[in-house]
Amino acid sequence: MDRVFIEGLEVDTVIGAYDWEREIRQCLRLDLSLAWGNRPAAATDDLNLALCYATITARIQAFAEQARFELVETFAERLVALLMAEFNIPWIRLKLTKPGAVPAARGGVGVEIERGCL
């Protein structure tokens, strides 16, 4: 199975368990790998057969805009479920980083999940 990837996508959302976090928007950084059969699109040069990064990115940004979760785990699970259902994606790996959540962790902290079958 081929994979389409989106790396370093930054979205702002309400995320966190502390009261002060519920009052602000924070940045999350997403790295996604999405299973997709690229051969039909490549054989015909037909955009309609490709997994469109722009469409996926816009959907992720819209999701983040509306999201109001305490846990990054919840954000990750709900986003992956939504993408799999709406775009018929059989497998996704998502690395979600919350930069600055732990000041000593220069690269950030977060979760990485993998759902579906290749």
Which domains, ranges and CATH numbers included, belong to the chain? 3-116 (3.30.1130.10)
Q: What is the pLDDT of residue 103?
A: 87
Cβ count near 75 (within 10 Å): 26
Res 118: pLDDT = 84
| Active-site residue set | 98
Question: How many residues in the chain?
Answer: 118
* Parts of the chain with a pLDDT under 70: none
Q: Which residues pair with 31 in a beta bridge?
A: 95
> Residue 21 and residue 105: Cα distance in Å, rounded?
19
Q: What is the pLDDT of residue 1?
A: 87
